[in-house]
Amino acid sequence: MTVAPKKITADQIAGVIAEKFKGRQEITCYVGSNAATPTASLEALTAAIKVRRPQLPFVKMVHLLLQGPVPYVEEGLQDRVMTYSIFSAGDVRRAANEGRAYYLPCTLANLASLIGKGRKYEPNVVFLKVRQNEHTGEYSLGLSVEALHTAIDYAEVVVAELDASMPFTQGQSVVDAQSIDYMIEDGVKPVYQFAAPDFDNLSAAEKRIGELIAARFIADGITLQVGIGKIPDAVVGTIRDAGYRDLGVQTELYGDGLMLLEKEGIVTNRKKKANLGYSTTSLIMGSEELYDFVHMRTGVQMRPSAYTNAAQTVRRNSPFVSVNTAIGVDLLGNVWADFIDPRRYYSGVGGQPDFIRALNDRTYGPPIIAMKSVTDRGASKIVKMHPPGISLTASAYDGIVLVTEYGIADLRELTSGEKAMAIASIAHPKFRDDFLRSVYEDSLFTKAIGFYLDKTPPGVQMYAGGITLEEGE
């Protein structure tokens, strides 16, 4: 006989936790993330923490990116609740930079092991959202699977918000009723939606990057992973217009761009070796159209991030193309994406290192880092040396492919001197000559015999298309 979850209201959560963990000094809560952030539960728990009624243990909140308000990071609550954020934005990012929240570095492939049985962050309580199938009665984790199955398996209390605004997704998102202890139905806030990218009005620089990647690396039958942002959007837009066929998708985050390719019949997943016939992802985030598209769709299936980001899964689906972006890269090929500088935390590593290291042999496919050559303020994103003390998402020994609007620098199998010349060659023209000269004149970088500054370095393909950059780009 199926045991149904007990129905409670959000303001009863604190009482449930206080009673269950009476006498405990500390508990760990794992929170479902991204578009499926359980905001009503977080707000209710924080309200109880603020007034200290009921008396609760010290609460450690562990999670990926949260959308909407995150009230427990407010100043003055850190003696009662503390955040351990694996990926951040907004209020949590601000709190981490001000010493009111911890940044917990972890790639998505390793997330389940971080919170597994006997680990430091093994959860006592899980907060999440679910959608119920009206025909079968099953529950789906909808837009956020990531490591929630691991969290549910080991938690003593699982609290779910029943949210009809969330799509019922297929695959390993389905959970049985016995896995949920308490269900909240009233006062639940809808899932978070985001405007779809405008693929027809990208900047000239973004279009050039998309054109370079699509022309050089995309081919019929490849499997694709792309992040979300203007640069990955440009790649998707170019793929859409180039007439490729039978692409596959295996990604950590599925957005409107990948949906567009699937609607256009470009993504069919017919050539995949693992998960033949459907796109696989651990998270979905985007527009209402996207959520309608994935609802009950067997062609888009959820998997834990430990699977979607696993090296063996990536390699089974080769030829594989991974496209991510970064904050900066230095002339040695070091890449950083979670910090702007060592004193300014920005987000998290996500799955970027997972895909880069899964593709460490060129026979599997290229791990691409695509970025505009300069920031919005005109500073070069390519620098001579990375800021001392900054954490790296790719090191000089990781063979990445760097793409800017000026060209491609395929750093795989190059010497340090060749890497430096290749990276300098695709910097913005305002900085390029200085970078090239500094490398050429530095004895640290051994140059190939017969190489001169007017020659194109090994591994470099300069942009030769017809898109003209606008002034200031």
Residues designated as active site: 252
Interacting residues of 21 by C-beta distance below 8 A, sequence separation 6+: 27, 56, 57, 124
Tell me the longest C-alpha to C-alpha distance in the chain: 79
Whether the Cβ atoms of residue 381 and residue 369 lie closer than 8 Å to each other: no
Which ranges in 197-351 belong to alpha helices (H)? 204-217, 230-242, 256-263, 288-294, 305-308, 311-316
| Strand, helix or coil for residue 87 | coil
The C-alpha atoms of residue 264 and residue 237 are separated, in whole angstroms, by 11
Which ranges in 344-428 belong to alpha helices (H)? 352-358, 416-425
The C-alpha atoms of residue 367 and residue 352 are separated, in whole angstroms, by 9
Which ranges in 365-461 belong to alpha helices (H)? 416-425, 429-440
- Residue written as token pair 């899980």: 126
Among 306, 350, 274, residue whose Cα is nearest residue 153: 306
Structure tokens at 400: 């990445």
Residue 145 CA to chain centroid, in angstroms?
Answer: 13
Count of CB atoms situated within 10 Å of the CB of 354: 26
Query: What is the CB-side half-sphere exposure of residue 12 using CA atoms within 13 A?
Result: 14
Whether the Cβ atoms of residue 371 and residue 381 lie closer than 8 Å to each other: yes
Long-range contacts of 259-267 (CB under 8 A, 24+ apart): 259/286, 259/289, 259/290, 259/293, 259/294, 260/199, 260/236, 261/236, 262/293, 262/299, 262/300, 263/293, 264/240, 266/239, 266/240, 267/224
